[in-house]
């Protein structure tokens, strides 16, 4: 493989397969890793390895993080028909995701034995980077999970997949995305603010982080809650909420010339007297 060949491959990804810059950079990162290994083990290939390692990554555009406001989450939950078993499952699923901020894969991987539905209510999550954490849940979430288990005849004492599809198989990430889109469409009629948002299951995790931040929870606790390896990952949420920015600017001392906010010059008797004396 030559540097020209690598560049041609990356161009093919973007122009013919319509992959984004992020995908292009991920592929290049894998190629770089291979040629670092090659250079360390086979010095004869050092020159070509250095040329390929010099191929730069492209700068990506950081898109705004989309999330659901607290009232929008409530609206989505209220749109679920809980008279049916699938509705009981969906309600418990999304309430748990918002409560814990769990990643989609963490949620669909849950076993029945990962739940503690007696006080103190909690759920065990096995996350990214093989990181384990136990997250507390509300009584309302525990009740919803209990109702779902009873309706679906799920034995919580056995280690079985928790969230199942209609075929009785574990619910997939795509299945969660399909369900969320279904309920978002139902909710959009009464909540038009949802129409301009690019929402997906991971948006619920963002929503949890913002809800915790607005509630005054410190960043270190939020990082542990979400299972972030570094608090730097959590810091991004501080910059995206307009309401918090408005509160911050209100507390700051303004700069520049302040325009007089009282009555106009026409109501100033000194100015009027001076004009009359002319």
Res. 82: pLDDT tops 80: yes
CATH 1.10.443.10 intervals, the chain: 70-239
Q: What integer pLDDT is reported at residue 172 of this predicted model?
A: 96
Q: pLDDT tens across 220-229, in order?
A: 888 888 888 7
pTM: 0.70
Distance, CA of 165 to CA of 152 (rounded, Å): 11
| Preceding amide of 203 cis, omega within 30 | no
Tokens of 6: 């690598």
Q: What integer pLDDT is reported at residue 250 of this predicted model?
A: 61
Tokens of 28: 């290049």
Name which of 79, 85, 99 is nearest 150 in CA terms: 85
Does the active-site annotation cover 173? Answer: no
Catalytic residue among 67, 148, 183, 237: 237
Cα–Cα distances in Å, from 244 out to 213, 231, 238?
A: 9, 19, 8
Does the active-site annotation cover 237? Answer: yes
Q: Is 229 within 8 Å of 202 (Cβ atoms)?
A: no
Q: What is the CATH number of domain 70-239?
A: 1.10.443.10
Does the active-site annotation cover 103? Answer: yes
Q: pLDDT tens across 68-79, in order?
A: 998 999 999 999
Q: What integer pLDDT is reported at residue 20 of this predicted model?
A: 87
Catalytic residue among 89, 205, 206, 211: 205
Tokens of 52: 């390929």
Catalytic residue among 103, 183, 206, 211: 103
Does the active-site annotation cover 266? Answer: no
Does the active-site annotation cover 24? Answer: no
Percentage of the chain modeled with pLDDT above 70: 85
């Amino acid at each position: 493989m030559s540097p020209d060949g690598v560049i041609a491959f990356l161009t093919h990804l973007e122009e013919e397969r319509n992959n984004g810059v992020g995908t292009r950079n991920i592929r290049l990162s894998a190629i770089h890793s291979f040629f670092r290994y090659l250079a360390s083990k086979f010095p004869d290939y050092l020159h070509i390895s250095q040329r390929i390692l010099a191929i730069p990554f492209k700068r990506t555009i950081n898109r705004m993080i989309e999330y659901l406001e607290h009232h929008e989450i409530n609206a989505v939950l209220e749109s679920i028909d809980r008279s049916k078993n699938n509705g009981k499952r969906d309600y418990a699923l999304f309430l748990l995701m918002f409560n814990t901020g769990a990643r989609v894969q963490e949620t669909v991987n849950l076993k029945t034995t990962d739940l503690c539905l007696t006080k103190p209510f909690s759920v065990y999550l096995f996350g990214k980077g093989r990181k384990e954490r136990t997250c507390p849940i509300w009584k309302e979430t525990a009740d919803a999970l209990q109702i779902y288990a009873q309706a679906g005849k799920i034995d919580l004492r056995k280690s079985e997949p928790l969230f199942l599809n209609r075929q009785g198989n574990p619910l997939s990430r795509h299945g969660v995305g399909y369900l969320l889109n279904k309920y978002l469409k139902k909710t959009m009629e009464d909540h038009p603010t949802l129409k301009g948002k690019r929402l997906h299951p991971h948006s619920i995790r963002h929503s949890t982080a913002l809800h915790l931040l607005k509630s005054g929870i410190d960043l270190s606790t939020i990082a542990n809650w979400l299972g972030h390896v570094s608090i730097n990952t959590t810091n991004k949420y501080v910059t995206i909420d307009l309401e918090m920015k408005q509160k911050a600017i209100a507390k700051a001392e303004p700069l520049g010339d302040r325009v007089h906010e009282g009555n106009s010059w026409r109501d100033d008797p000194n100015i009027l007297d001076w004009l009359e004396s002319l």
